[in-house]
Amino acid sequence: MKQINITTTFSVFDSKEELTADLLDLMNQAIEIRKKAYAPYSKFRVGCAIALDNGKIVLGSNQENAAYPSGLCAERVAIFQAGAIYPDSKILKMAISATSDEKPVLAPIPPCGGCRQSISEYEFKQETPIEIYFMGESGEVYKSDSLKNLLPFMFDKNYL
**What are the pLDDT digits (tens) for 4-43?**
999 999 999 999 999 999 999 999 999 999 999 999 999 9
127 a catalytic residue: no
Domains located in the chain, CATH noted: 12-153 (3.40.140.10)
Residue 29 and residue 35 in contact, taking contact as beta carbons nearer than 8 Å: no
pLDDT at residue 114 above 90? Answer: yes
Summarize the annotated binding site for substrate as residue ranges.
Answer: 62-68
Q: What is the pTM of this model?
A: 0.94
Summarize the annotated binding site for Zn(2+) as residue ranges.
Answer: 73, 112, 115
- Per the prediction, the chain carries an average pLDDT of 95
Summarize the annotated binding site as residue ranges.
Answer: 62-68, 73, 112, 115
CB atoms within 10 A of CB 78: 27
Mean pLDDT, residues 33-60 taken together: 98
**What are the pLDDT digits (tens) for 84-112?**
999 999 999 999 999 999 999 999 999 99
Q: Which of 75, 121, 137, 140 is catalytic?
A: 75
